[in-house]
Structure 1
């Protein structure tokens, strides 16, 4: 019969409902602040009918995979149609970092934890997270009236009595499902990445192969974001457009730099930008996407606009080799170079797959009268961006094998003996 010490009880107490509520609120507040500042910089602060808080709520919902449905009403003789699929990954990233750190904090300084303990702590967070997502989903709904402006479009509107309105609501069941799935993924990744996070005894044998690779991929993605922010700040200082730059940083910087990562690997994205839509990306990318009905976005097509794009190959080679070096340095000394290469290849392929799934963009809106097409102008537009997924994943496997092997060779002088996890062995009391 085991006896819990006062120290053990204190550890378990930190897994309570109050602590779970603190973690959830911290993540949501951080996401809301980032989304609010980004939308304000983008000009959403001037929205009518006090809609700004509801737009912020909708942004947070979409950041964790929620579904926002657009609707329109333009009277009996006119029709509106709209659709939007985009994830503001800056908001997503901030929420993931805060939620993951909050989940790990009570578990630090531990070598082993039971599966039941980890599941119970995660379940408390999950229950409160679902309640918070439900509240956001019910808040994120609004209707706006569109101005037809002046000229022919306005004349048609007056003639046919067209008063277009568009709005958005949240599809609650998918929002709760994907929100829970996102939260689960964040918690699992947090445990995989952190050296100090305890694992159930049965899973300790997997940490040598999984944790260093997961950590290296997180470092790689964060490095790309940091470089993107640095470049954006330099551009804002030297060329102006500070508000627009701040909006990109706070809403879509990972969307841009992780897209660049895949293009640097040789991946291809297909897309189109038509009408007043724009993408938060350099002018050269926007020019390619406006060049045809369905444009091809890769190193070749971008280099036709600006030859400096080929430097992406060099940047990728350096950063991927550095990530492989970090992975090898955190791995057991007994692991061979080819094993590092395989681990790097699998980790990079999964990372690129994730980027391809969350980096897609699709948006459309239009107004037609008497069923005759879109009126165009500022009242119609179309935008989409989607990857050739399996080509991108295959290229990631090849890059991972090459850089993983090279990184293992470079890390030989610094690799340590022992486990790849936290370097400790479970004590008898644990």
Structure 2
């Protein structure tokens, strides 16, 4: 029996057991965060022991899976429901843990073969699909909605109305988008980490891509960290600790990354009607509620609260800090205009990602004899969508200016250190 070479030993370190650990670590992290967030939101009170299935559905949506809402009122009535939202706190937790577990067997190496890297990623992807399939089949439940109002209750008895709403997972779509999510996490992990090995053909791109990718991850995480601090301060000062914890554990990035784009100049459009609410400051709910289509940007928010303009100052500090981090990790031979281009491209891609994952759409309605929506607590709509091209245009401007200034600042610091 021949002795194993160092290369063979390196390959053995990321076999099937390590792939299983990577998949389970990511799913457990998401499950714990989702369960705690839903507990804080009061989901443990759901009937029919639905809490575990709701947790499974939350994890499914967190990785891009599709959960379809279904409605049935029976008899002469009908109900309709729909929900599209990504709990980005759960997504972020899973991405960080999965990326760390994916990179761990590859550390302490400068270069890896394309076949070896593809084999390791393929093992993780196959086990990930099997685990996601199990979650998708678990995430299904039906709920009966009580008609609390006396008049509505009488109508229910008269027409045999027993409104139900439930959710099911679209398994093929969930597996497809879940696999895309995993591929994105693994690719981004390789781009961000300095210690992650790359195939020889890709080494020439690491000097321009890795610093910019790392800077954008730092920017997004800094926004989340700032949001956590603000949320905890608000919880201590004003109470509502449990509700604040639910927002932090389920949708904090949804809020802070939205604020990041608005501070850059982006415009979002939306509407809030009925019992739905937004897990964000009251001023946003005031702007969006009760209008056909409301505009959400610095101008409209400033009409309600002038402190919104501080978002511009915070964004300026964050973008400049990210630009400095990028320039400091880049080769010294790079000029300021190159840093500007790199950050401009990176910030555009980052804002585009926020626009894609930050959309929210939810509605529910109940009608009898086809006559409209009964309204009250039995109907409502929540919509939030970005004006993508405008947001990307502002991202280009901020990226170019911030990257140029960050490059100059990094050069100045290097000169002083060199002296």
TM-score over 0.5 for the pair: yes
C-alpha distance in 2, partners of 1:47/1:312? Answer: 38
Deviation by residue 1:79-122 (Cα, 9 ceiling, x = unmatched): 00000000000000000000000010011110000111110000
Contact 2:273/2:290 (8 A) holds in 1: no
Aligned to 1:216: 215
What secondary structure, in the 3-state scheme, does the structure 1 residue paired with 2:64 have?
Answer: coil
C-alpha distance in 2, partners of 1:15/1:397? Answer: 40
Aligned to 1:428: none
Structure 1 position 14, deviation (Å): 1.2
Contact 1:23/1:99 (8 A) holds in 2: yes
Structure 1 position 414, deviation (Å): 4.3
State whether structure 2 residue 107 is matched by structure 1 residue 102.
Answer: no
Aligned to 2:28: 29
State whether structure 2 residue 79 is matched by structure 1 residue 80.
Answer: yes
Aligned to 1:134: 133
Structure 1 position 11, deviation (Å): 1.7
Show structure 1 runs of 5+ residues with no match.
417-430
Structure 1 position 149, deviation (Å): 0.4
Aligned to 2:311: 312
Aligned to 2:361: 362
What secondary structure, in the 3-state scheme, does the structure 2 residue paired with 1:75 have?
Answer: coil
Aligned pairs for 1:252-331 within 5 A: 252-331=251-330
Structure 1 position 8, deviation (Å): 2.9
Contact 1:331/1:415 (8 A) holds in 2: no
Aligned pairs for 1:171-182 within 5 A: 171-182=170-181
Aligned to 1:45: 44
Contact 1:328/1:415 (8 A) holds in 2: no
C-alpha distance in 1, partners of 2:4/2:256? Answer: 49
Show structure 2 runs of 5+ residues with no match.
none
Aligned to 1:206: 205
Aligned to 2:62: 63
Deviation by residue 1:32-74 (Cα, 9 ceiling, x = unmatched): 0000000010010011111000000000000000000111111
Aligned to 1:403: 402
4+ residue runs of structure 1 moved beyond 2 angstroms? 3-10, 413-416
C-alpha distance in 2, partners of 1:304/1:113? Answer: 55
Structure 1 position 327, deviation (Å): 0.1
Structure 1 position 292, deviation (Å): 1.7
Structure 1 position 124, deviation (Å): 0.1
Contact 1:39/1:56 (8 A) holds in 2: yes
CA RMSD of aligned residues (A): 1.1
Structure 1 position 158, deviation (Å): 1.7
Aligned to 2:341: 342
Aligned to 1:412: 411
Structure 1 position 152, deviation (Å): 1.8
TM-score (norm. length: structure 2): 0.97
C-alpha distance in 1, partners of 2:364/2:289? Answer: 17
C-alpha distance in 2, partners of 1:75/1:330? Answer: 63
Contact 2:75/2:159 (8 A) holds in 1: no
C-alpha distance in 1, partners of 2:94/2:413? Answer: 34
TM-score (norm. length: structure 1): 0.95
C-alpha distance in 2, partners of 1:9/1:146? Answer: 59
C-alpha distance in 2, partners of 1:167/1:64? Answer: 20
Aligned to 2:393: 394
Q: How many residues align?
A: 414
Residues 1:395 and 1:371: Cα distance change in structure 2 (over 3 Å):
same
Structure 1 position 330, deviation (Å): 0.2
Contact 1:195/1:211 (8 A) holds in 2: yes
C-alpha distance in 2, partners of 1:372/1:204? Answer: 64
C-alpha distance in 1, partners of 2:62/2:146? Answer: 29
